[in-house]
Structure 1
Amino acid sequence: MPISAARASTVDPTARRPGTRLLSRLKLRHLTLLTRLGRLRSLTRAADTMGISQPAATKALAEIEDIFEAPLFVRSRQGLEPTPLGKLALVRAERMMLDLDHWGQEMEAVRSGRAAQLRVGVIPFVSERVLTPTLERLCAQGINVVLYRATTDQLLKALRGHEIDCVIGRAAAAVGMNDMWHEVLYTQRPALIAHPALAKRMARTKPDWRLLANVDWILPSSATPIGNMVTELFTREQVRPPVARVETYSIDVIAGMLRNNQNLLSIVPEDIAIDMASAGGVARVKWDWNWELPPVSLIRQVRDLPLDVEESFAHIVREVCAALMQPEQGA
């Protein structure tokens, strides 16, 4: 065998990977400097916040650009502006620093006797009958939970930015995201809700889309699944969609306004409508909907090695949702 061939066979295949240069040379101080430059756009201010001199910061930036083999910033009147490669570096550096921060929090949790910390994003239209038993079982396992409520698109942005660990939301918003994995937990049907007095009046009349269009509405934004659904339904019936008097995703606000206004309608998932009616002051309006909302799903990042705390959460929320759906399926 030729000597050159023998030498080639011993070369570490990982040495040819694009990330090898970063793994071998990129340091924590480089990541820190990148995140500070991304926020401050000034070497002087970044150096001050890191407690180093400007020449040291300049040298560190030169090292970073040597690693990337291209400039990451250009000077402008507004300060340092990232190049396209610099924008990518800033996003990745920010995520890596967040991961390290969360790692530190998890280590502290374990040292103090708790299992871990889980950051969960949940859309507003998930019933407390799902959330409460899920959170109780997580806490019983010693897992600390930080709960975030927002729309699915907002939560997915936080998930991709490593600000939260997993999401209970609408999987339709995650379509095409190859770095996201999701599983359906349960489906939801829409329900019309109103003040009990308005619900009684509407029960005595024949369903009429034009009548609905002339009633005052409180709705989520038209960019959300329910808001978009309302627009589609009225358009399909060749009726101009109503303009919401108030746009909100807040269950508390919707319930409060319906209790205080006998001429106001809203539409929410059926399980949320049941919760509201049980609390009092809100009633369901009988209406046939030939439509279902996008299913509620558990959405997680694709990982080579799933985190134990995420697996525990997934197992618990599956069981809670399955138990919640059983009576409905048997009806």
Structure 2
Amino acid sequence: MSTFEATDVVRRLTARLKMRHLQLLLRIQQHGSLTRVAEEMSTSQPAITNALAEVEGMFGAALFDRSARGMAPTALGKVALARAQAMINDLGHLVRDMETVATGNAAHLHIGVIPFISGQMLSAAVQRTLPEGGGRLTLTIHEGTSDQLVQQLRDHTLDIAIGRPSTTVNIDQLEFETLYDQQPRLVAGRRLAAQLGRHRLNWRQLARLDWIMGAPGTPIREQVSDIFLKAGVAPPTPIIESYATKLMGELIVSSDKAVSIVPADIADELVRIAGVAIVPYSFDWTLPPIALFTRREGPKPDAIRMFAQALRVACKQDPHLKERQTEY
């Protein structure tokens, strides 16, 4: 596309593109059928066909391929859909920000976190975030896996995400800053922990226990499986796949065979809130690091910048993380 053509497209989109056009594109992506979109919007298929033609005319190219199997976005369509979702989400954030200001608060952030983030550390970061000009910072906390969170960050559902970078996490258009490493801890019920603690670490013996792990592909699950393989032992098939800490704690304390490997700070929280015990093994490896993810495009709003700085300070001052703090 030449500079002149690109300028012409920008002019058309600026003058004619509306939110209803973006919503139409997202509905077509969802249903893959103009007939279904028409039924959902209580209108005729010709009207939807004309509306799509209007939008594609603004872009100067087809946004969907038509086939007997339905409609699939073209390469340009995928770009347009990603931006459409981001703009729709940004509009929702604008309404929330207006409500926040109207109630006397300073800003509202949507923060994504993986389950194995210390609640104490996160709470300390929130308390240390002091918006400029007064008022309070309000938050919506979203939980998910790292790959889910970075996708939500990319489509503007989230303002910031705290997760684990890995080769399976798509960080295109994102920036990430490593905050700290986490030491692994084996947790079990008190009786089982005492039994295991009387003997040397034996991966073959551990493989016969009932494991609680995350879903396949999650960084800790993959790393623990790799540790078993390096010890010449087939990785155990978990009886439960979950990183929900409360559920993990309840399952472990109610079983004489359940174990899991979790970060040291999370293990300490499980000891306190669920009564699990930490098996006194010393591992010579660390878990995948925790990182702060933000979008690369444009200047960062003050609320994001201030929360990020508060999070860095909270990580350095957290007694569980201080010894493991690594400079990058």
Whether the 8 Å CA contact 1:174–1:180 is kept in 2: the answer is no
Q: Which residue of 1 aligns with 2:17?
A: 27
* Cα shift at 1:51: 8.0
Q: Of the candidates 307, 313, 317, which is equivalent to residue 301 of structure 2?
A: 307
Asked if residue 220 in structure 1 is aligned to residue 214 in structure 2, the reply is yes
- Aligned CA-pair RMSD: 2.9
* Cα shift at 1:298: 0.9
Q: Which residue of 2 aligns with 1:266?
A: 260
Q: Which residue of 2 aligns with 1:247?
A: 241
Cα distance change of structure 1 residues 206 and 64 upon mapping to structure 2, 3 Å threshold = closer
Asked if residue 66 in structure 1 is aligned to residue 62 in structure 2, the reply is no
Q: Which residue of 1 aligns with 2:195?
A: 201
Q: Which residue of 2 aligns with 1:4?
A: none
* Cα shift at 1:23: 4.2
Whether the 8 Å CA contact 1:116–1:142 is kept in 2: the answer is yes
* Cα shift at 1:209: 2.0
Give the match's secondary structure for 1:146: strand
* Structure 2 unaligned blocks of 5 or more: none
Asked if residue 108 in structure 1 is aligned to residue 99 in structure 2, the reply is yes
* Cα shift at 1:127: 1.0
Asked if residue 291 in structure 1 is aligned to residue 285 in structure 2, the reply is yes
Distance 1:49 1:329 in 2: 56
Whether the 8 Å CA contact 1:127–1:271 is kept in 2: the answer is yes
**Normalising by structure 1, what TM-score?**
0.84
Distance 2:175 2:159 in 1: 12
Give the match's secondary structure for 2:27: helix
Cα distance change of structure 1 residues 237 and 55 upon mapping to structure 2, 3 Å threshold = closer
Distance 1:237 1:45 in 2: 54
**Normalising by structure 2, what TM-score?**
0.85
Distance 1:301 1:74 in 2: 30
Cα distance change of structure 1 residues 219 and 54 upon mapping to structure 2, 3 Å threshold = closer
| Deviations, residues 150-175 of structure 1 (Å, cap 9, x unaligned) | 11111111111211111111123586
| Deviations, residues 181-237 of structure 1 (Å, cap 9, x unaligned) | 111222101001111111111122232222112222222234212211211111111
* Cα shift at 1:41: 4.6
| Deviations, residues 236-269 of structure 1 (Å, cap 9, x unaligned) | 1112222212121111111101111122211100
* Cα shift at 1:35: 2.8
Give the match's secondary structure for 2:282: coil
- Stretch of structure 1 that moved more, 159-168 or 279-288: 279-288
Alignment of 1:1-331 (within 5 A): 17=7, 20-28=10-18, 29-41=20-32, 43=34, 46=37, 57-76=48-67, 80-138=71-129, 141-172=135-166, 177-325=171-319, 328-329=322-323
Distance 1:213 1:58 in 2: 58
Cα distance change of structure 1 residues 257 and 55 upon mapping to structure 2, 3 Å threshold = closer
Distance 1:176 1:46 in 2: 31
Give the match's secondary structure for 1:185: strand
Cα distance change of structure 1 residues 15 and 268 upon mapping to structure 2, 3 Å threshold = same
Distance 1:327 1:16 in 2: 50
Whether the 8 Å CA contact 1:258–1:281 is kept in 2: the answer is no
Whether the 8 Å CA contact 1:197–1:262 is kept in 2: the answer is yes
In the alignment of these two chains, the number of paired residues is 318
Whether the 8 Å CA contact 1:120–1:165 is kept in 2: the answer is yes
* Structure 1 unaligned blocks of 5 or more: 1-12
- Stretch of structure 1 that moved more, 64-73 or 149-158: 64-73
More helix by share: 1
Q: Percent same amino acid at aligned positions?
A: 37
Cα distance change of structure 1 residues 328 and 16 upon mapping to structure 2, 3 Å threshold = closer
* Cα shift at 1:91: 2.8
Distance 1:210 1:33 in 2: 56
Give the match's secondary structure for 2:25: helix
